[in-house]
Amino acid sequence: MIWLTNTHYHPHYPTISHLGSKHPTKPTSTSRLSSSFNPTQSLASSYRSFTMGPPAIIAPSILSADFGSLGAACSGLMDNDSDWIHVDIMDGHFVPNITFGPPVVSKIRTHVQRPTCAGGKGTFDCHMMIAEVPTPFRFLRIPMPQPQKWAKEFKDAGCDLYCFHYEAAVESTAAKEPSDNTTTEKTSPKELIRYIHELGMQAGIAIKPETSVNVLWDILENKEAIERPDMVLVMTVNPGFGGQKFMASELPKVQALRAKYPDMNIEVDGGLGVGTIDQAADAGANVIVAGSAVFGAQNPAEVIAKLREAVEKRRRS
């Protein structure tokens, strides 16, 4: 179930999709939500104020967890006051590593209570590092990992926020003047965002360090609200592996986004921890992905609290 206003897109959740937005909301059916859900409550309302920008959201990446006990790791994150679970989906093509598929997401979803509002506690933030793979012959069209083809499967598995890469959505060997026997299916980022919203998920769009933030302006300024993302993810490492060094050189992208969109969720991912969080928070990031810093800590709850406080301190300043 979806509905639109003349200013903003809403999926079936009865809350705002850009946390901190001042646009009006409209309650919808709560049949798919928990019995304790209050239709007038949003995630932003549980924080001091959203006139200061969107609240801190801590989304530890389970890429750094023990893969032999992912379910326990996810429930432990919730017990340690995490907001979201960041699930890195890698296909071995867009990035060299391979991680989880829908069956794994479906299993670990059972260990974490579903969010009762858009972007609420327990959100599965699926970072889709997958791309279209060209087939060698025009007559051979084998389904390959691509952002749009996998959206419904991950929705059914328990994904709440489907964040795809801009580079994967526009990647096409056609742009590189391929030979006549190469086939690709180019995907429009706006069409993909629309499709994700129609499935009932929030939509995010990510950019690699090599990609200019300027490629996003046309998408973010789209007059069709249903084709605008709910979140932008700025990578502060090259995607594909955890434990990499933080790239502060990417923070001007965050600053530019925050200057134009004070109420939008802006996520940073890569090399974040207690030693680097202040830089990311000062730039304007509010959704913080941390893997090694959380799972490698003796006291994960303390690390999560410090990450949150850095973002909240910036909001209060």
List C-alpha distances in Å: 266 to 56, 172, 280, 282, 286.
10, 27, 10, 12, 6
> When comparing pLDDT for 38 and 250, which is higher?
250
- 66 has catalytic annotation: no
Active-site hit among 91, 125, 263, 269: 269
Mean of the per-residue pLDDT values of the chain:
82
Using pLDDT thresholds of 50, 70 and 90, give the confidence band for residue 35. very low
Separation between Cα atoms, residue 191 and residue 83, nearest integer Å: 29
The amino acid present at 162, given as its one-letter code, is Y
- Please tell me the predicted confidence (pLDDT) of residue 186: 55
Lowest mean pLDDT among 94-98, 195-199, 238-242, 269-273: 238-242
> When comparing pLDDT for 39 and 246, which is higher?
246
Residue 173 has pLDDT above 80, yes or no: no
Closest CA to 238 of 212, 273, 210: 210
> When comparing pLDDT for 173 and 134, which is higher?
134
Using pLDDT thresholds of 50, 70 and 90, give the confidence band for residue 246. very high
- Please tell me the predicted confidence (pLDDT) of residue 21: 38
Separation between Cα atoms, residue 185 and residue 127, nearest integer Å: 21
- Please tell me the predicted confidence (pLDDT) of residue 241: 77
Say if pTM beats, i.e. exceeds, 0.75: yes
SS3 at position 10 = strand
Lowest mean pLDDT among 127-136, 192-201, 259-268, 283-292: 127-136
Using pLDDT thresholds of 50, 70 and 90, give the confidence band for residue 49. very low
Model confidence over 82-103: pLDDT tens digits? 999 999 999 999 999 999 999 9
Separation between Cα atoms, residue 299 and residue 294, nearest integer Å: 8
- 160 has catalytic annotation: no
Domains and CATH numbers, the chain: 53-316 (3.20.20.70)
> HSE on the CB side for 92, CA within 13 Å?
5
Separation between Cα atoms, residue 63 and residue 258, nearest integer Å: 27
SS3 at position 97 = coil
Helical segments of 80-146, H only? 102-109
Residue 276 has pLDDT above 60, yes or no: yes
> When comparing pLDDT for 130 and 40, which is higher?
130
Active-site hit among 88, 91, 125, 230: 88
Model confidence over 115-124: pLDDT tens digits? 999 999 999 9
